Amino acid sequence: MRLDSFYFFRAIDIQEGIENVSIANIPFIVFSKKEKQMRKIYFLVLSCAVTAIAFVASALAQSPGQTAIPVTRDYKSVGMTSYQVGIDAQMQELQDQVNSLNVKLGKQQSAMSKMSAVQLHGRMLLDTCYYGDAPNGPAIEDGLTARAIWIRMDGKFANVWKWRTCYDLGAQKFTFAYLQLTDMPRVGNLRIGLDKSLYGMEYLTSHRHITFLERGLGTSMVPSYQLGVSVFNTALNDRITWSGGVYRYVDRGNISSYGDGRNADDTEDVAGGNNDVKLLGRLVWRPYFWENKPTDSRSLLHLGVSGAWENKRDVKYTAYNTNAGMVAGRGATGLTKLVFDPGQLNNVYKTDFEAAWQYGAFSIQGECYLSFLDFADGVNNGNTETLVGAYGNVSYVLTGESRGYSKAVGTFGGIKPKESVFRVRDINGRVHTGWGAWEIAYRYDFLDGTTDYITSLGGAAAHAGDIYRHTFALNWYLTSQACFKFNYAHSDFKTNSATNQTVDAAGIRFQYWW
């Protein structure tokens, strides 16, 4: 490097982190043009080398297998333009809109599925009954039978319309076939078709959920399944349930016809004409109701009354299926079908008084049925007669569960065990057992008539006007949809024209529904 000239500058004082450093006569070297170009190349190479060394050092400093730490996007630090920031924001907004639309679409699909939902249900009740040999009682054979095998379909459409069709495979007849309009102002619910008569508390309780194998003797007086129109609703914050309807008889084995040809296992036979008209009404009041839904426990007081008028004219009652020897109510197993024949009637006036009190696992309930028979001319000297039936039962769930209750209809439901029946072994080898729910109950019921209208019991000849019965029950609920029921009953038949008769019976039922 050639030195062209020297320049000398006056001494200056520099204060930059070092106190009073004096620099004097500092030579400043001036390079030629060629040397200036070489210097630029030199500094460029040096800058590249330093950059490469720094990059390699940072890569070597990272541990093997360790991924780079993501850095939060900072548009300013990376020099992103405002245009790019706007594009990203718009994409995020579009994504939010798509998510919102998906949520709305899912809700609409869920609502549509509910509006057009169809559900399949079924139930199976298997009974076996054993009868003691009473010296003065009718000879009734033991047996095993299917009390009910039902297939039911429920549907809903247009959000306010419901329908139900149910067929009894064993009896080969329909039990339900109706269409229902819900949420009507004031009226509440309008139901048209084949349905249970809205009459009485125990009769309206499904036979899945009654405490005993069959309903009480007094339900023999309740109008059975009928074809008609009914309305029902609740009022006063669900303190009151009311219902009413008008019905005519229909042959459930042939739902397209009604009138003649009623089967012997229905409520009554028709002797002539399509004259069977019924007007029904029911009112239920709950002055006290408490419920804890998380624990499914409740306490309540239930009071109710029902009334009916039946224009029988020349209609003749020929069968009330009370299964009286065993566990009775209507339509029982058929093993002890009781024939009840008061004769030809003109009109029948009926009323039913009902009451129930439930306090957690304890409950007591009862009903009193009255039927005023207006006989046709030439029958029973044209007189009127009153039939009385009643029952009272008390029950207690040993495992603490409460019976269910429906305010919409004003009836009791089933028992849902706190734990189902199971027996399993955990990973530590310990065995765990679930016992389900256990219930004990007692019932006393009777059917009282001044004339010997009972002409047959279980196919055996029987003549009696009154029946008095004691029934004891032990129920084991395996799950909320399956249970065993054990009943023992002692029945006394009183008669005005023959020797009194007694029947002792035991019955076991397994029932399952879905």
Domain boundaries, the chain: 1-46, 123-513
CA gap 14, 24 in Å, rounded? 11
Select from 471, 480, 484, 476 the least CA-distant residue to 511.
484
For the record, the structure tokens of 361 come out as: 């696992």
Burial of 8 (0-12, 13-18, 19+ CB in 10 A): exposed
pLDDT (0 to 100) of residue 220: 78
pLDDT (0 to 100) of residue 260: 35
Select from 359, 256, 237 the least CA-distant residue to 301.
359
Determine the residue type at 380. Answer: N
CA gap 247, 223 in Å, rounded? 10
User: Residues 37, 41, 43, 47: is their CA dihedral positive or negative?
Assistant: positive
pLDDT tens across the length of the chain (514 residues): 444 444 333 434 444 444 444 444 444 455 566 666 776 676 677 777 767 776 666 666 554 544 444 444 444 444 555 556 667 777 788 888 888 877 777 766 666 555 567 899 999 999 888 887 665 655 667 778 888 899 999 999 888 999 999 999 988 888 899 999 999 998 999 999 999 889 999 999 998 999 999 888 888 778 778 899 999 999 999 999 999 999 987 655 554 443 333 333 344 434 344 456 789 999 999 999 999 999 999 999 999 999 999 876 544 443 333 343 333 333 333 334 455 556 667 788 899 999 999 999 999 999 999 988 877 666 666 667 788 889 999 999 999 999 999 999 999 999 999 999 999 998 999 999 999 999 999 999 988 765 555 554 544 445 556 788 899 999 999 999 999 999 999 888 776 555 677 888 899 999 999 9
Rg (CA), the chain: 43
HEC string for 47-71: HHHHHHHHHHHHHHHCCCCCCCCCC
* CATH-assigned architecture of domain 123-513: Beta Barrel (2.40)
CA gap 193, 166 in Å, rounded? 12
CA gap 255, 272 in Å, rounded? 18
Q: How many CB atoms lie within 10 A of CB 294?
A: 5
User: Is 475 in a helix, a strand, or coil?
Assistant: strand
For the record, the structure tokens of 188 come out as: 């509440």
Note the maximum CA span of the chain. Answer: 159
At residue 459, φ and ψ (nearest 5 deg) are: 85, -10
CA gap 513, 119 in Å, rounded? 13
pLDDT (0 to 100) of residue 342: 60
CA gap 426, 438 in Å, rounded? 25
Name the pTM for this structure.
Answer: 0.71
Q: How many CB atoms lie within 10 A of CB 1?
A: 7
User: Is-contact 267 320, C-beta < 8 A?
Assistant: yes
Length of the chain: 514
pLDDT (0 to 100) of residue 504: 85
